[in-house]
Amino acid sequence: MARVVITGLGAVTPIGSGIEEFWKGLTAGTNGVSRITRFDPSDFSSQMAAEVKNFHPEDWIERKSAERMDRFTHFGFASSTMAIQDAGLDRFVFDGNRAGVIIGSGIGGSETIEKGYSLLREKGPKSLNPFFVSKLLINMCACLVSIAYGFKGPLSAPSIACSTGANAIGDAFRVLQRGDADIMLAGASEACLTPLAYGGFCATRSMSRRNDCPEKASRPFDKNRDGFVMGEGAGIVVLERLDHALRRGARIYAELAGYGSTADAYHFTAPEPDGDGMARAMEKALQDAKVLFQDVGYINAHGTSTVLNDKIESGAIRRVFGGHSKNLKVSSIKSMIGHLMAAAGAVEFVSTAMSIYTGIIPPTINYEEPDPDCSLDFVAHGAERIELQAALTNSFGFGGGNASLVLRKLNEP
């Protein structure tokens, strides 16, 4: 099996776009949650979100092309361009037949669907745009990136709820391991802060209702958490076979060493109470990476700020790592950027790669009162510096999809 490394990072997030701005915001504990501005939330039970602001598609995409894309594609395309430029692939002649794209989404063109339905009701079917269908398709972001950059290898667009981004990266990892490509662009994008989608999630009663204090609403693992905060954004990474990256002299952030994917087979939305699926995903990732649990120094937790998820994930971590769980640093960046839904795992993977590269762990903000059901060593109140050899990042989704990825420092070629 070929070894796989991370050579490019791109992100569009509620606390900044581009790896430098995003990482600066994370390590500073910047809060990206506020009252919703994209529509009037007054009639909704939850009224806050982590919105992407000051993002202009035309900075990344030709204006006419941007008009034919949904907002989620804007995010994904921009993040892909960032990752490609960060990896130096825009200055390197590569074999397009050996380069692939796996970019997923949970809902896809949510904004396009809602606007199209309104037009249909108000003006009839002749009012619909000829690009309506292509704008809403989940696979369109991956396809348009492939077209723009000449990536002619494997192409797909997974949709596995909140674990989508991690699964996309894990699937790309497997493509490279088995030798079907030299370069893979992978991640996910989500832009579902629209009235219908947002209202639907409000109806699940899993979102925070701390409307009087939005900046305190996302509080993973805190005893007084009351639900997640919805967000939007995208995370895309360039993965390469190690031999290919070394041959072209690429900068390497970290090695992607292991991937575990499981299903709870339990419930539409609730996680399995004993956390068995979560634990098995972590165990599989560690076994795949051939990394001892004692070598893992940090977990970028799924940490949604919901009562059930945080408690069950904490228990699953203790089950997998046993006594070593007391030595693990744990944080959830959802405290700052909210839950980016399908894009969460990809953006959190970007964050974890930066932690390996810099030795800095971003904090879990709003962690004020420990919950005895979540007894782990949480990085809170400020970033911490630690020499990391290996780290693990978790993503768990509605329907029981679980994905874990193990990253480690590349100590030798």
Catalytic residues: 162, 302, 339
* Residue showing tokens 């947002």: 198
Q: For 334-358, give the secondary structure using H, E and C.
A: HHHHCECHHHHHHHHHHHHHHHHHH
Enter the tokens of residue 221. Answer: 């693992």
Enter the tokens of residue 313. Answer: 């994930």
Q: Give me the phi and psi of 323, to 5 degrees please.
A: -65, -25
Enter the tokens of residue 33. Answer: 């949650």
Give the dihedral sign, CA 369/401/284/337. Answer: negative
The DSSP result for 163-181, as a single string, is: THHHHHHHHHHHHHHTTS-
Strand pairing of 254-263 and 401-408? antiparallel
What is the C-alpha to C-alpha distance for residues 406 and 413, in angstroms, rounded to an integer?
18
Contact 143, 196 (CB under 8 A): no
What is the total residue count of the chain?
Answer: 413
Contact 197, 107 (CB under 8 A): yes
Nearest to 8 by CA among 87, 76, 80: 87
